[in-house]
Amino acid sequence: MGTMSLGTLLAIVVPLVVVAILIAAAALLLVRRRHLRERFGPEYERTVEGADSRLAGERELRTREKRHDSLDIRPLQSSVRDRYSRDWTNVQGEFVDRPEDAVHDADRLVTSLMRECGYPTEGFEQQLEDLSVEHGRTLEHYRAAHDIEALSTRHKATTEQLRGAMVHYRALFDELLSDGGQARHARA
C-alpha cells in the first residue's frame, strides 16, 4: 500500500493546480480593481454603475487608460500657465457685469487649456472620458458647470447657478493648470 497510482495522484494534484490558478486570477482581478478605483476616484463607481456589469465598466476604464496613454499630454511652460492665470482673472472679473458671458468664456478657456495640455476637445463626452483618467475627482465639477452653461445658453440659469458654474469651472481649471506642469501617462 506504499505507492499511489497515477490516477490518484492526478486526482489530487489537478484540483490543487486549478484552485491555485483561480486564486491567482482572483488576486490579479482585485489588484486591477484597486488600481482603477485609485486612479479614477468617483468616476470608477459612476462608470461601473452605468455599465452592464462591473467587468464591462472596468473594461471601459482600461480602454480610457489606453487612449489616454496614446495622447500627447505635455507640460505647460510657465509663461503659458501665467497667461492662462491672467485670462482666468479677466473672465472672473467679467462675471460682475456679464455673468452669462463670463460662464461661456470660462467654458471656452477651460477647453482651450485642455487643448493646450494635449487633450482632444472634439466633444463633451469624449472630453469627459479623456479627462477621467487623470482628473476623475474633478469631473463632477466639469459636468455641473457644463449643465449650467447649457442652461445659460437658453437664458434659463439664475445668477446663483452661474456663480456655481464659475466655481465648478475653476476647480478643473486649477487642476489642469497645476498638472500642466508635468506630462503624465497611465501607470500600468
Mind listing the pLDDT tens digit for each residue in 28-82? 888 888 999 999 999 999 999 999 999 999 999 999 999 999 999 998 999 999 9
Instruction: Round to whole Å and give the CA distance between 111 and 124.
Output: 10
Mean of the per-residue pLDDT values of the chain: 91
Question: What DSSP line would sit under the chain, residue for residue?
Answer: --S--HHHHHHHHHHHHHHHHHHHHHHHHHHHHHHHHHHHTHHHHHHHHHSSSHHHHHHHHHHHHHHHHHS---PPPHHHHHHHHHHHHHHHHHTTT-HHHHHHHHHHHHHHHHHHHT---S-HHHHHHHHHHHHTTTHHHHHHHHHHHHHHHTT---HHHHHHHHHHHHHHHHHHHHHTTS------
Mind listing the pLDDT tens digit for each residue in 113-150? 999 999 999 899 999 999 999 999 899 999 999 999 99
pLDDT value, residue 61: 96
Please say if the pLDDT value at position 184 is more than 80.
Answer: no
* Residue 102 pLDDT class (50, 70, 90 cuts): very high
